[in-house]
Structure 1
Amino acid sequence: MSQGLTPIEKRTALSLAGVYGLRMFGLFLIMPVLATYGQSLAGFSPLWVGIAIGAYGLTQGILQIPAGIASDRFGRKRVIAAGLLLFALGSLVAALADSIYVVALGRALQGAGAIASAVLALASDLTRDEQRPKVMAIIGSFIGLSFMVALVAGPALAGWIGINGLFGLTAVLALGALAVMQFVVPNAVQKAPTRDLVAVPARLKALLKDPQLLRLDISILILHMLITAIFVALPLALVSAGLVADRHWTLYLPAMVLALVLMVPILLYGVKRGQTRGPFLFAIALMGLAALLMLTQLDSVWGLSAAVVLFFAGLNYLEAALPSLISRLSPPGDKGSAMGIYSTAQFFGAFAGGLLGGVLYTHLGAQGVFALCCGAIALWFVLMWGMQEPRKVRSVTLDAPLYDPARAQSLAGQLSELPGVVEVVLIPEQKAAYLKVEDPFDIEAAKAALTA
């Protein structure tokens, strides 16, 4: 079997990464500029800036799991196309807005186009199990890249085309993503087993009780709460410190480059030592130091610049580490459900951060927002101190032509005795076998057992 991606898998990875990346770029583009360039909008206030920045998180959090389930019933591409059209509609509503309230409505409509779970499920449908981590890594890297580019491009473009122009651009990008979906993304000729791809409602309650998974769900909620809260206050703090709004990109660009450079040693340390817990706690500590600098260096552009570098160094590492940890720690056959909870927590965190950031800035100014960040990070660090080092396992999904539940139970026992098999779940109704494995693992031996 080929150890590399096939042409179809490469096309799947790059095209879906483009679809998701363009959409996320449109969402992120507004974050660093709404607080400064939105001041001409009727009803402008820090509170409504926070609500508008985080509004997409509320609707996306509510609809994330239902959209994944709908994609299983009605087809991935149909749900993704509908989501992109909703996103474009929300962008147009915000582009035509003359008040901050209508901008918030547009952002909520943008979030209603919740396509994340459907995109990942389609990627899984079109790729072999052993190549799927590469495809997911490509999609994830495009999301990270879209955030970094948007952080720089937003302030640079806002001075030229304004807030309304930025929303118009996001509508065009959404339609471009729709064209890529329709004409470039391959069609899935056979759906993969669904239990490991989209959320199963009956499994959500049990997964919420898993202390390791719950720690990661809280982590992504706090992380995205911090991002949106900070972007309510940071642009205004930079202006107060003397950096005019249309020059913010000159801070963000070198800060993002330095943050990436700082992230590399954290990654290398974790890989070399085979550890996750230490680098994870260190990244949280970096973000805590960044929040403390923001709180104490409000009048210094250089102090705020150093804080941005440290914040994004920790953020970049955690954004890459958290999905991988969810995948490794989720029970066999429950990755879709675990990721559904994780994504929902992420988007609710974004909404909470915008709302809390707006309320605190209104009553306490930037100091109140940054103090909230310091407190949240301190609690987060304490929570994650009890994190256990995960085993180096991966998920494998195999076809299992079973019709007899009794035979399935016997076969699960046989599979669990194979070298490298950690956990086994067989679902006869879905003709699927879900395994957690570690090296050495012989996939051909597992396939032979299933077809004997």
Structure 2
Amino acid sequence: MTTDERRATAGLSIIFGLRMLGLFLILPVFALYGQDLAGATPTLIGLAIGAYGLTQAVLQIPFGMLSDRIGRRPVIMLGLLLFAAGSGVAAEAESIVGVIAGRALQGCGAIAAAVMALAADLTREQQRTKTMALIGISVGAAFLAALLIAPAVAAGLGLPGVFWTTAGFAVLAMLLLFLLVPAGGEARFRPEVNARAGGLPVVLRHPDLLRLDLGVLVLHLVLTASFVVLPIILEQRLGIGRGDHWMVYVPVLVLSVGGMGLLISIGERRRILHRLLAGVAILVIAADLLLAGFSHQLWLVVLALFVFFVGFNTLEASLPSLLTRFSPAGLRGTALGVYATAQFMGAFLGGLLGGMIQGAFGVSGVFVFCAIAAAIWLVVALGLRPPADFRAQADQMETP
């Protein structure tokens, strides 16, 4: 990478990670601490966990299209301001309904598409997979940090302290946008990625993009639904104190990064990253079935979480990279807007349905539901074609 590419990759990865850290911070604690809020029920707790996903889903396409028109940076700044405001609303809430409203306002900061589009604008094609992988890793790092930080913050400052901490992360991300990310190079300066009219129908008719969109929807549905019940499993079934849950999560996540790196390296080197997705879906299904049937045994829970996070991290890094390769010229921001819409709709549905299924069928029912969702995407993923650059390189290798 060039110096500017390294700066862009580092800056945008940190910004994306800080925003996701703010969203993830309640996952390890809210299922437990949210029970003390006025009006709390399993369904409303799940809705509070996933509420940000609904407003994110509604606004990602408009924000992505807007970033194609006026530039990425103004859209990113607006989104971070809205996210900080929503954090303040949630911090001041005394009821579950107030937290839901704050989480929904947090979600109005729909910057995922603009961040990924800016990362693609500022890096060359041959470096883009590295950049997208590092942004994906930042999501995993944010999740790891949330597992470490959230229990301590919640124990010391309560839920309001958790939400004020997320507001601080948003302010820090704003500063980094100006201080670390190189200026210039956005889509308006590059004819090959300039916005063009009528792009949304083109993106919505593209079969390979739709397969990737479904993949990220299912991935975040499964993640959010799982964390509606995982804290309960650790505390009530395995007897692990609230402040000690990180001792299970952190080693699993750290080790899973190595598994992710190995899988992505194989996929890129052999030009089979698009085929690897189906195998990773099988890992997610296996992990959910283990959690559904054996959540009373600590070593099996740890094994299932390791397998799940290898799959989660691999998909989180590889799906956006593949998406930028399939995106039609001039529609990268729009395509990433649709992708991010699917991602956050998955988070919303995971929180809502996870809470509802827990209330109706218990903890195991949530994981069976997640396994079924992953199996549906497995079937869809089998039809994914190789992207153009994979096909071109394969043709060159076959030419004598």
How far is the alpha carbon of 1:384 from its aligned partner? 2.1
More strand by share: 1
CA–CA distance in structure 2, aligned partners of residues 134 and 271 of structure 1: 10
CA–CA distance in structure 2, aligned partners of residues 212 and 22 of structure 1: 30
Task: Name the residue aligned to 1:146.
Answer: 142
CA–CA distance in structure 1, aligned partners of residues 300 and 356 of structure 2: 25
Kindly indicate whether residue 32 of structure 2 is the aligned counterpart of residue 36 of structure 1: yes
| Alpha-carbon spacing, 1:194–1:361, altered in 2? closer, same or farther (3 Å) | farther
| Alpha-carbon spacing, 1:183–1:103, altered in 2? closer, same or farther (3 Å) | same
Q: How many residues align?
A: 395
How far is the alpha carbon of 1:127 from its aligned partner? 5.0
Task: Name the residue aligned to 1:99.
Answer: 95
Task: Name the residue aligned to 1:209.
Answer: 205
CA–CA distance in structure 1, aligned partners of residues 134 and 275 of structure 2: 25
**Contact 1:122/1:188 (CA < 8 Å) preserved in 2?**
no
How far is the alpha carbon of 1:184 from its aligned partner? 4.1
Task: Name the residue aligned to 2:66.
Answer: 70
Task: Name the residue aligned to 2:287.
Answer: 290
CA–CA distance in structure 1, aligned partners of residues 138 and 62 of structure 2: 24
Of 357, 360, 364, the residue aligned with 1:363 is 360
Using structure 1 for the length normalisation, give the TM-score: 0.80
Task: Name the residue aligned to 1:158.
Answer: 154
CA–CA distance in structure 2, aligned partners of residues 181 and 249 of structure 1: 30
**Contact 1:125/1:188 (CA < 8 Å) preserved in 2?**
no
1:299-322 residue CA offsets vs partner (Å, 9 max, x unmatched): 223222221111111111111111
Q: How does 1:159-198 map to 2 (within 5 A)?
A: 159-188=155-184, 191-193=188-190, 196=193
Amino acid at match of 1:255: V
Q: Secondary structure at the match of 2:138?
A: helix
| Alpha-carbon spacing, 1:361–1:201, altered in 2? closer, same or farther (3 Å) | farther
Q: Secondary structure at the match of 2:236?
A: helix
How far is the alpha carbon of 1:157 from its aligned partner? 3.3
**Contact 1:54/1:355 (CA < 8 Å) preserved in 2?**
yes
Amino acid at match of 1:174: A
**Contact 1:58/1:351 (CA < 8 Å) preserved in 2?**
yes
How far is the alpha carbon of 1:75 from its aligned partner? 4.4
Kindly indicate whether residue 369 of structure 2 is the aligned counterpart of residue 378 of structure 1: no
1:163-204 residue CA offsets vs partner (Å, 9 max, x unmatched): 221111111111111222244444338732477376x56222
Kindly indicate whether residue 347 of structure 2 is the aligned counterpart of residue 350 of structure 1: yes
Amino acid at match of 2:100: A
Task: Name the residue aligned to 2:107.
Answer: 111
Kindly indicate whether residue 300 of structure 2 is the aligned counterpart of residue 303 of structure 1: yes
Q: Secondary structure at the match of 2:189?
A: coil
Q: Secondary structure at the match of 2:376?
A: helix
Of 328, 331, 346, the residue aligned with 1:331 is 328
| Alpha-carbon spacing, 1:373–1:325, altered in 2? closer, same or farther (3 Å) | same
Task: Name the residue aligned to 2:16.
Answer: 20
| Alpha-carbon spacing, 1:272–1:78, altered in 2? closer, same or farther (3 Å) | closer
| Alpha-carbon spacing, 1:261–1:179, altered in 2? closer, same or farther (3 Å) | closer
CA–CA distance in structure 2, aligned partners of residues 277 and 90 of structure 1: 37
CA–CA distance in structure 2, aligned partners of residues 195 and 272 of structure 1: 27
Task: Name the residue aligned to 1:245.
Answer: 242
Structure 2 residues not aligned, in runs of 5+: none
Q: Secondary structure at the match of 2:328?
A: coil
Kindly indicate whether residue 73 of structure 2 is the aligned counterpart of residue 82 of structure 1: no
Q: How does 1:214-225 map to 2 (within 5 A)?
A: 214-225=210-221
Q: How does 1:43-58 map to 2 (within 5 A)?
A: 43-58=39-54
* Larger CA Rg, structure 1 vs 2: 1
Structure 1 residues not aligned, in runs of 5+: 395-419, 423-436, 441-452
**Contact 1:277/1:389 (CA < 8 Å) preserved in 2?**
yes
Amino acid at match of 1:386: G
Q: Secondary structure at the match of 2:364?
A: helix
More helix by share: 2
1:222-248 residue CA offsets vs partner (Å, 9 max, x unmatched): 111111111111111222212222111
| Alpha-carbon spacing, 1:368–1:127, altered in 2? closer, same or farther (3 Å) | closer
**Contact 1:36/1:236 (CA < 8 Å) preserved in 2?**
yes
The CA RMSD measured in Å over matched residues stands at 2.7
CA–CA distance in structure 1, aligned partners of residues 118 and 330 of structure 2: 17
Amino acid at match of 1:229: A
CA–CA distance in structure 1, aligned partners of residues 270 and 116 of structure 2: 30
Q: Which has the higher contact order (CA 8 A, sep 6+)?
A: 2
Task: Name the residue aligned to 1:270.
Answer: 267
Percent of matched pairs sharing the same residue: 46
Return 278-287 or 350-359, whichever deviates more.
278-287
**Contact 2:45/2:355 (CA < 8 Å) preserved in 1?**
yes
How far is the alpha carbon of 1:63 from its aligned partner? 0.8
Task: Name the residue aligned to 1:426.
Answer: none
